[in-house]
């Protein structure tokens, strides 16, 4: 697992109380964890590639702010980059290509942000059989059945303000979204959606994570809104969101700000992780109980687990 503050990337390979810093080279924009490859997007389009053989830096030539990374293959290395504007780039063995099929989406004209700036590809997720999902902030979710070569929008019966999209390692048809109107779930790759919000005190959602072996076991964060004392809270479900319970055993009942996109995750061994400000929390029982394992030198901006 990778953990990133504003200017440092840490690796957690063993002792959860002692992550090791692996990169301290400018402002961290996004991170991604693979089986043997790890990525960290820095400023000016640079992406650090971390492996057992050491570190190298790719100059992608991407000029827009990088929002997210998704590893598709590790040998040769191929990954997708989501940016503001928004666009999706494919980087293959050091060569960068802006994906024209994504740029050609007719629905782009409807994408926006509440503050009037450019929309962004906020997060991406993939399935084992090659489908890729990209959430647009703001503009719903786009999907690709062929690893990013062609794109189309999902059926727009979910809230268009999506903050994180996730998939299940066990159910290729299942897609999850946490939105400004809480959690939505699709069992048909985005053709239809069900609103799963029973039990939430607030509807403004940010992060979502799926247990690697149990597609119905999820963690999600909600709050009162995007700014100020948002009263962020962590929730879990064992029944695919038909009911949600507030996580309070060992984890803060409420945080002052949002438990943000990329602040929760499950590692492949089934352990759950979450962030509150500068503190990393661990659950060994699918999110029921938690312990604080490590306090970072500054607020944790994101974590990355293997998809």
Whole-number pLDDT of residue 275: 97
Quickly count helices (H) and strands (E) in the chain.
1, 28
Q: Model pTM greater than 0.85?
A: yes
- What is the sign, positive or negative, of the torsion defined by CA atoms of 238, 242, 243, 249? positive
What tens digit of pLDDT does each residue of 231-285 get? Answer: 999 999 999 999 999 999 999 999 999 999 999 999 999 999 999 999 999 999 9
Whole-number pLDDT of residue 161: 97
Whole-number pLDDT of residue 294: 98
- What is the sign, positive or negative, of the torsion defined by CA atoms of 143, 204, 268, 245? negative
Distance of alpha carbon 64 from alpha carbon 298, whole angstroms: 26
Burial class (CB in 10 A: 0-12, 13-18, 19+), 281: buried
Percent of the chain at pLDDT above 90? Answer: 94
Whole-number pLDDT of residue 279: 98
What tens digit of pLDDT does each residue of 125-176 get? Answer: 999 999 999 999 999 999 999 999 999 999 989 999 999 999 999 999 999 9
Residues 181, 189 contacting (CB under 8 angstroms): no
What tens digit of pLDDT does each residue of 53-94 get? Answer: 888 999 999 999 999 999 999 999 999 999 999 999 999 988
Integer CA distances (angstroms), 162 to 60, 182, 212, 213, 256, in order: 27, 9, 22, 25, 21
Per-residue pLDDT band at 228 (split at 50, 70, 90) = confident
CA dihedral of 244, 221, 72, 9, whole degrees rounded to 10: -140
Per the listing, tokens 């640079």 go with: 46
* Secondary structure (DSSP) of 44-73: GGEEEEEETTEEEEEE----SPEEEEEEEE
């Amino acid at each position: 697992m990778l953990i990133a503050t504003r200017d440092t990337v840490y690796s957690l390979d063993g002792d959860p109380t002692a992550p090791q810093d692996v990169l301290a080279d400018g402002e961290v924009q996004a991170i991604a964890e693979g089986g043997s490859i790890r990525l960290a997007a820095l400023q000016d389009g640079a992406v650090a590639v971390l492996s057992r053989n050491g570190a190298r830096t790719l100059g992608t030539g991407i000029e827009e702010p990088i929002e997210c990374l998704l590893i598709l293959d590790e040998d040769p290395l191929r990954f997708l980059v989501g940016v503001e504007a928004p666009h999706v780039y494919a980087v293959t063995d050091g060569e960068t290509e802006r994906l024209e099929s994504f740029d050609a989406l007719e629905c782009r004209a409807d994408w926006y942000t509440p503050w009037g700036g450019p929309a962004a590809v906020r997060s991406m997720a993939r399935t084992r059989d090659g489908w890729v999902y990209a959430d647009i902030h703001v503009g719903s979710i786009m999907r690709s059945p062929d690893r990013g070569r062609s794109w189309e929008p999902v059926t727009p019966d979910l809230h268009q303000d999506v903050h994180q999209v996730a998939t299940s390692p066990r159910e290729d048809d299942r897609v999850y979204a946490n939105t400004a109107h809480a959690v939505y779930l699709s069992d048909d790759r985005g053709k239809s959606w069900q609103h799963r919000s029973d039990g939430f005190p607030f509807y403004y959602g940010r992060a979502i994570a799926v247990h690697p072996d149990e597609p119905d076991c999820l963690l999600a964060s909600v709050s009162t809104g995007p700014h100020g004392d948002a009263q962020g809270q962590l929730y879990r479900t064992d029944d695919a969101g038909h009911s949600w319970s507030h996580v309070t055993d060992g984890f803060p009942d409420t945080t002052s700000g949002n438990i943000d996109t990329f602040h929760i995750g499950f590692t492949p061994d089934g352990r759950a992780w979450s962030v509150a400000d500068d503190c990393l929390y661990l659950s060994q029982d699918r999110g029921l109980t938690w312990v604080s394992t490590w306090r970072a030198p500054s607020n944790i901006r994101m974590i990355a687990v293997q998809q």
